Amino acid sequence: MTAGRAVARGGLLLCDPPLGHARAAEACAELGAAGGDIDRIPARNVFCPMIFAPVTLHARGLWDGRSVDFRQTYTSRCVMEARTGAVLAFDD
């Protein structure tokens, strides 16, 4: 049995103007449509293999003058990407 590995990564997303990561404009548009609430970004209709490989993410910052602190664990990276759109899409 092998132990899982923890990988911490981070990024900065600015939305006025969109800067900070490769899909900043798309991410800012998705956040705008969701009122700054990552949980309200519509899930993409994708097929994710049923492989349990949990991914926990934590996003914090400011949206429209209010503090945002989002933490969620998804069953896999595929599910995370389907649920968070461009906001947390990091290129490898």
CATH of the domain at 55: 3.30.350.10
Choose among 73, 70, 11, 81: nearest CA to 36.
Answer: 70
For the range 49-54, what are the long-range contacts, defined as Cβ-Cβ under 8 Å and sequence gap of 24 or more? 49/76, 49/78, 51/76, 52/76, 53/4, 53/77
**pLDDT tens column, 10-48:** 788 889 899 888 889 999 999 999 999 999 999 999 999
Would you say residue 68 lies in a domain?
yes
The answer to whether position 49 is within a domain reads yes
Structure tokens at 60: 């914090």
pLDDT of residue 20: 85
3-class DSSP string for 15-26: ECCEECCCCHHH
Q: What is the pTM (predicted TM-score) of this model?
A: 0.79
Assess if residue 22 is contained within a domain: no
Domain count, the chain: 1
The partner residues of 68 in beta bridges, in order of sequence, read: 61
* 24, part of any domain: no
Q: Confirm whether 89 is domain-assigned.
A: yes
Range of the domain at 48: 37-92
